[in-house]
Amino acid sequence: MKRPEFTPGHESILRAQVITEGQPGAVLHDFAAVLDALGPDGVEAAGKHHLLPIKLIPQLDAKLAHPLKLAQQRPQVRSHPYIQALNLLLRASGLSKLDGKGQKARLVLDAEAKMQWDQLNPTERYFNLLEAAFRIGRGEMVGEDRRADEGLLLPCLAAWAEFPQAGWSPRKPKPEQSYPFPIYGRWYLLALMDLFGLVEVTQPRGKVERWYPGRVRHTPFGDAVMPLLFPVAWADLFPLFDATGTGGDRAVGDDEPGRGLHQPPPPGGSQMSLDVDGTSEGGEDEGETLEGGEVEAEHGEEGPRLGEWQPIFVPYFPEWRRNLTPPAREVRDGTLVFRVSHRAMWRLIAIPSGARLDSLAAAILDSIGFDHDHLYEFVYTDGFGASRRIYHHAMEEAPSADSVAVGRLPLDPGDRMIFHYDFGDDWEFAVELERIDPPGKSERARVLQKQGKSPAQYGGDDWS
């Protein structure tokens, strides 16, 4: 893909653009409708991916700037690409969170995040959502395939580059099966681009069972924005290439504490932030003892900060001053008890909240009699609905297990993560946080209980 040129004409288009509820796209209008639909009590979360409920789709569709009016009797979120895109914005922005678990889980607004949102001007809202969608957003947040390491910017940028200047239309006689490269059937990506005014999508005539675009056209605004984002997409492919000079995404263990409306330092000045009100600003347990360690208690955030793209767009949109920030999460204080399971076997392991994750990894391996000769990773789902990984220190990936305290993980009792060990044999162990006990005297991980025989590490399906 050839790098698109950013011209003086593009600069003029951006400087002349005024961000409103309906311009350059309908994203602020439609996102407001979703926030109103959740209301103070939230809505029932649907399915294992905790999506917006099916019964809400007709109501939401009627409030969109451009309703689809699908002919389906019970349309799924995935069958309505615009609502799926808005669902992704709810998760990626941090404005929504899950309350409860299982079938009782509800998708609710985060009260502090909503207070921050209400203080943002339209330009700040637009660019916070733009960055949330294309830097933080992942398909798995809305039930798509788990390409956890693939952001949404690159496929959208590539699709934009593929669309002819004269426009693109799906081929007949089966337009619903005519997919633009590299979006394929992920119509929610096209919906995102349309919502932000990066392209213009004409809806098909009449009611359709399976949605497809009538026609896709370039927009002057999108043609001005995309060349600015090309270096960012390039940096996603080649992490050593820093498009903005601000570094890459952060994960648990890397972010600073605190929550408020974050502003970059003004020229020659110091950084300011606004609070949400708008003002400036025990007994030792018995059991087997295994190797462990402690780190200083800290606070951590559940996800990356917004605002990395400010250096790119502020020269054209100086009204972008403030950003949503994710919640500060206090480190767990106590002893975390994990149930580690594989098939019918399980081990109950207690570990101090200050111990590092490499100590938990060692405890798991020792409890099942495995050697320590292979690489591993812990995989969990963050508060945004995206997969996060914490790596063996030898993998030279950040964050590493020897730098993250167990108590900093964004896990509540009943939540689980995966311990993926030996990438050749692909051992996967479910690691569920069963409870949090008061602090004990021991500074080491301990096996509290065992059930079932350990698998044979190198014996195929044979069990020891």
Vertex 242: Cα angle to 240 and 243 (nearest 5): 145
Q: Which of 5-9, 411-415, 427-431 has the lowest mean pLDDT?
A: 411-415
% of the chain beyond a pLDDT of 70: 80
Furthest-apart CA atoms within the chain: distance in Å: 74
350 sits in the region (left: phi over 0; alpha: psi -120 to 50; else beta) called beta
pLDDT band (50, 70, 90) for residue 273: very low
Q: Quick check: 331 and 420 in contact, CB under 8 A?
A: no
For residue 266, give the DSSP letter: P
Can you give the pLDDT at residue 12?
Answer: 98
pTM for the whole thing?
Answer: 0.79
HSE-up (13 A, CA, CB side) for residue 191: 26
State the CATH architecture for 335-451: Roll (3.10)
Phi, psi dihedral angles at 306 (to 5 degrees)? -85, 155
Q: Is the pLDDT of residue 7 over 60?
A: yes
Contact between 320 and 313 under an 8 Å Cβ cutoff? The reply is yes
Rounded to the nearest 5 percent, the helix, strand and coil shares of the chain are 30, 20, 50
Work out the pLDDT band at 33, boundaries 50, 70, 90.
very high
State the number of CA atoms in the 13 A half-sphere of 193 facing the CB.
30
The confidence score (pLDDT) of residue 35 equals 96
Considering only 77-81, 114-118, 233-237, 377-381, which range has the smallest mean pLDDT? 233-237
Tokens 């167990």 belong to 406
Number of Cβ within 10 Å of residue 185's Cβ equals: 14
User: For all residues of the chain together, what is the average pLDDT?
Assistant: 82
**pLDDT, average across residues 192-204:** 94
- How do the domains of the chain map onto residue ranges? 8-237, 335-451
pLDDT at 291 over 50: no
**Confidence check: pLDDT of 259 > 60:** no
Which pLDDT does position 219 carry in this prediction?
98
> What's the confidence (pLDDT) of residue 289?
42
Instruction: State yes or no: pLDDT of 261 exceeds 60.
Output: no
Share of the chain above pLDDT 90, in %: 54
